[in-house]
C-alpha cells in the first residue's frame, strides 16, 4: 500500500521517494499551529516534507502507523530531531489520505508544530 511506502520514505527522509508516492496533481493540505497550507502537485508535497525534515540532524521516526478507514487512509507518525537553530524538537503529524490508482491523490495533515524537547 502506498501510504506504508510514504511512511517508510519519511522514516528514511528520502524526498524523491516521498515525491513518487504522490499523484502528479495531488493536493496536500496542512494545518499547523501557525497557518493553513494548500499545495498542489507531487513536487510541492515533497518540498513541504523537505522543509520539515531536511535540517533535522540527527533525525528519528519515533513511531507511526497506517490504518484504512472506509475509503480513506490515516497515516500518523511522530518524529524527533535536532534543528541547527532551535535545538531538539519533536513533532507529530496525522493525515487522512485519498489513494487513487495506487498513488496519494490527496492528503490532509494536522501538525502539532515543532515542540522543544530534551535531548534523547
Q: What is the pLDDT of residues 8-66, one digit of tens each?
A: 999 999 999 999 999 999 999 999 999 999 999 999 999 999 999 999 999 999 999 99
* pTM value surpassing 0.85: yes
Tell me what percent of the chain is helix, strand and coil, each rounded to the nearest 5. 25, 50, 20
Tell me what pLDDT residue 120 has.
87
Number of domains in the chain: 1
| Domain that residue 61 falls in | 2-116
* Pairing mode of beta strands 22-31, 103-111: parallel
- pLDDT, one tens digit per residue, over 52-61 is 999 999 999 9
CATH code of 7's domain: 3.10.450.50
Amino acid at each position: 500500500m502506498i501510504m506504508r511506502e510514504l511512511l517508510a520514505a519519511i522514516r528514511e527522509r528520502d524526498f524523491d521517494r516521498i515525491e513518487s508516492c504522490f499523484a502528479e496533481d495531488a493536493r496536500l493540505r496542512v494545518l499547523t499551529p501557525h497557518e493553513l497550507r494548500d499545495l498542489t502537485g507531487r513536487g510541492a508535497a515533497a518540498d513541504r516534507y523537505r522543509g520539515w525534515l531536511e535540517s533535522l540532524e540527527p533525525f528519528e521516526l519515533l513511531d507511526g502507523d497506517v490504518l484504512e478507514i472506509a475509503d480513506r487512509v490515516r497515516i500518523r507518525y511522530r518524529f524527533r530531531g535536532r534543528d541547527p537553530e532551535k535545538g531538539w524538537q519533536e513533532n507529530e503529524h496525522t493525515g487522512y489520505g485519498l489513494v487513487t490508482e495506487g498513488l496519494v491523490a490527496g492528503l490532509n495533515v494536522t501538525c502539532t508544530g515543532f515542540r522543544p524537547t530534551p535531548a534523547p
